[in-house]
Amino acid sequence: MKKVVALLLALVMVVALCACGPKEPTGGTPSTPGTETTPGGEQQPGGTGNELAGTYDVTLWVPEAAVDLTKEQVAAFNSSNELGITFNATVEPVSEADAATNMINDVSAGGDLYFFAQDQLSRLIQAGALTKLGQGAAEFVKNNNNAATQVAAQAGSDFYAYPLTSDNGYFMYYDKSVIPEEDVDSLEAIVADCEAADKNISFELENAWYLAGFFFSTGCHSDWVTDNDGNFISIDDDFNSANGIIALKGAYKVLSSPKYVNSSTPDFASGSAVVVTGTWNYAAIKEQLGDNFGVADLPSYEVDGTSYHIGSYSGCKLMGLKPQEDAKRGAALNQLAQYLTGTECQLQRFSSFGWGPSNNEALADPAVVADPTLTALNEQGAYAIPQPNIHGSWWDIAKVIATNIKTGGGSDAELQAALDQYTSSLESVFEMTDEVRNAFTVIGAIGGSSWDVDFAMTADGDVWTSNDVFELKAGDEFKCRQGKSWDVAYPAENYVVEADGSYNIQLNAATGEITLVPAA
């Protein structure tokens, strides 16, 4: 790893000059006869060759659905670029979640270019799994992508990735036979409509990602501060404030309803009239609702005569470049990354999979503008906060706020108590000992808990074994995580128990492999 990091520094010096990709409106110009191009992509007078020219064997990790299209896009790059670059690309199906975990486990074996979700940026930087973008590449990101995805690709003042999508946010789907158009902007009216029709409001407020929108509606913020190496060093948070109390009064209007369901799944067929979720559930919801399909940005609520529009997080997917020992190879890969995240390729992914673009020109395309879910997402974007790098412990800390208030009477004292507990839990993150920060625990729907208890594990070298013997049932799910945080957690998807039995849970932290050991 030390060798990779040292070579990364050399690579950055070259890639900093990297010009924009071919056939994209980036302001760069491909090399032409009479010029000579450096490995960084800048043109120099007097030469007739290009130092990036050559054939490169590379590996790309992309979601399974995008494998065939990505192969076509790489072939298009090979035939269209004027730099003499040819990629012999192996395109492998690796999900965004698995890509981050696999890269952290073994950077050297990882894909040269790979897709990942923005909330994995810090841990990938800390693992040495991302190349810091040079000046030219950073300018490409800033000149071609919307502001929210630019924030997502940064740690400190540096850029570490290329935006791929800008569609990871949430808004409201509704049944038009229950919710009339004149009520879609009022949370109070929506709750009343659902209760009158005996229909559910599916809003996953016992999940910090959704609950945070109420705090954003009143101007609250929660910003984790990282240094340029991706390490969390402090938090600037004012949820525990007068505006935080107002936010909880708004959330309580939903949490206290007998028709509230803590869910974001498309369950109109099983009794919901409202589901707050994202673009990924569009097809299922459209099929369930048919002619009664409705979609809109989130509504507003009133507290003491003032109206507050519910906010949200906005998020995206990114493309990372693994550090390369060969600076020339790394510069060529930057050319490919810029092409794959440019206008044409983003529009192709939108057309094929419905992925919302981050590229500004693609966002203005008529087909994108006409998409009903992206329209709702973009309207909600006026009230959305770009999801920054967030410490993995925050999700559990913040979600408890809703759990604590939903069964109470909604008094100011109860709401304040929930916020005080939240503040205390935040402070404990920075008071955590190295022993706790480095230890693994088991968490899941096991042992009578529901993802709300960390069960201790004991280490023997790289192997961690649960202190408890669990009576597991087929279908139970769990993960092993480090430091009571989601920054490092195995497996990428929940571990699903296959057979009933009494087991110790064992984790090999070096490989991420989990084993169920039958109790003696």
The per-residue pLDDT for range 367-422, each reduced to its tens digit, is: 999 999 999 998 998 899 888 778 888 999 999 999 999 989 999 999 999 999 99
For the stretch 160-189, pLDDT in tens is: 999 999 999 999 999 999 999 999 999 999
Q: Is the pLDDT of residue 70 over 80?
A: yes
Q: Identify which of 269, 273, 279 has the alpha carbon closest to the alpha carbon of residue 189.
A: 273
pLDDT at 7 over 90: no
- pLDDT computed for residue 411 by the predictor: 96
> Could you tell me which residues come within 8 angstroms of residue 393 by beta carbon, excluding any fewer than 6 positions away?
429, 483, 484, 485, 486, 487
Residue 28 vs residues 1, 35, 42, 344: alpha-carbon distances, Å: 34, 14, 9, 16
Summarised one tens digit per residue, pLDDT across range 73-93 is 999 999 999 999 999 999 999
What does the alpha-carbon distance between residue 148 and residue 153 come to, in Å, rounded to a whole number?
9
Q: Say what percent of the chain tops pLDDT 70.
A: 90
Instruction: Return the bridge partners of 374, or none.
Output: none
* Contact in structure between 212 and 313 (CB atoms under 8 Å): yes
3: pLDDT confidence band, cut at 50, 70 and 90? very low
Q: Is-contact 247 258, C-beta < 8 A?
A: no
pLDDT at 261 over 80: yes
DSSP 77-128: HHHH-SS-EEEEEEEEE--HHHHHHHHHH-GGGS-SEEEEEGGGHHHHHHTT
CB 457 within 8 A of CB 432: no
Cα four-point dihedral sign 426, 430, 431, 432 = positive
Per-position DSSP letters for 248-289, written without gaps between them: HHHHHHHHTSTTEE---S--GGGTEEEEEE-GGGHHHHHHHH
Say which CATH topology domain 171-312+386-431 has. Answer: D-Maltodextrin-Binding Protein; domain 2 (3.40.190)
What does the pLDDT read at residue 386? Answer: 82
Between 16 and 393, the higher pLDDT residue: 393
What average pLDDT is seen over the chain?
Answer: 88
Nearest to 179 by CA among 263, 248, 268: 268
CA angle 458, 463, 468 (to 5 degrees): 40
pLDDT surpassing 80 at residue 22: no
Closest CA to 124 of 2, 222, 231: 231
Q: Which pTM was predicted?
A: 0.70
From-to residues of CATH 2.60.40.10 in the chain: 434-518
Pairwise CA distance, residues 146 & 259, whole Å: 37
Mean pLDDT for the stretch of residues 277-287: 94
| 318 touches 114 (CB < 8 A) | no
Fold assignment, 2-167+316-358 = D-Maltodextrin-Binding Protein; domain 2 (3.40.190)
pLDDT at 406: 93
Q: What is the token pair recorded at 513?
A: 């492999």
Angle between helix axes 394-405 and 208-217 (nearest 10 degrees) is 70
Q: Does the pLDDT at position 245 exceed 70?
A: yes
State which CATH number among 3.40.190.10, 2.60.40.10, 1.25.40.10, 3.40.50.450 fits the domain covering 434-518.
2.60.40.10
pLDDT band of residue 5 (cuts 50, 70, 90) is: very low
Kindly list the distances between the CA atom of residue 285 and the CA atoms of 144, 176, 198, 277, 463, in Å, as whole numbers in the listed order: 32, 13, 19, 10, 44
- Pinpoint the residues of the chain covered by CATH 3.40.190.10: 2-167+316-358, 171-312+386-431
pLDDT above 90 for 323: yes
> What does residue 136 show for φ and ψ, rounded to 5 degrees?
-65, -40
In this structure, are residues 133 and 323 in contact, taking their beta carbons and an 8 Å threshold?
no
DSSP string, 142-190: HHHB-HHHHHHTEETTEE--EE-------EEEEETTTS-GGGTTBHHHH
Residue 491: is the preceding peptide bond cis (ω within 30°)?
Answer: yes
The rounded distance, in Å, linking the Cα atoms of 252 and 244 is: 12
Percent of the chain surpassing pLDDT 90: 72
Residues 6+ apart with CB under 8 A from 303: 246, 249, 250
What's the pLDDT score for residue 47?
31
Decide which of 484 and 59 is more confident.
Answer: 59
User: How would you label 305-321 residue by residue, b for 16+ Cβ within 10 Å and e otherwise?
Assistant: eeebbbbbbbbbbbbbb
Note whether 332 and 112 are within 8 A (CB).
Answer: no
Q: Using an 8 Å Cβ cutoff, are 185 and 193 in contact?
A: no
* Residue 496: band (very low, low, confident or very high) from pLDDT cuts 50, 70, 90: very high
State pLDDT tens for residues 460-471.
999 999 999 999
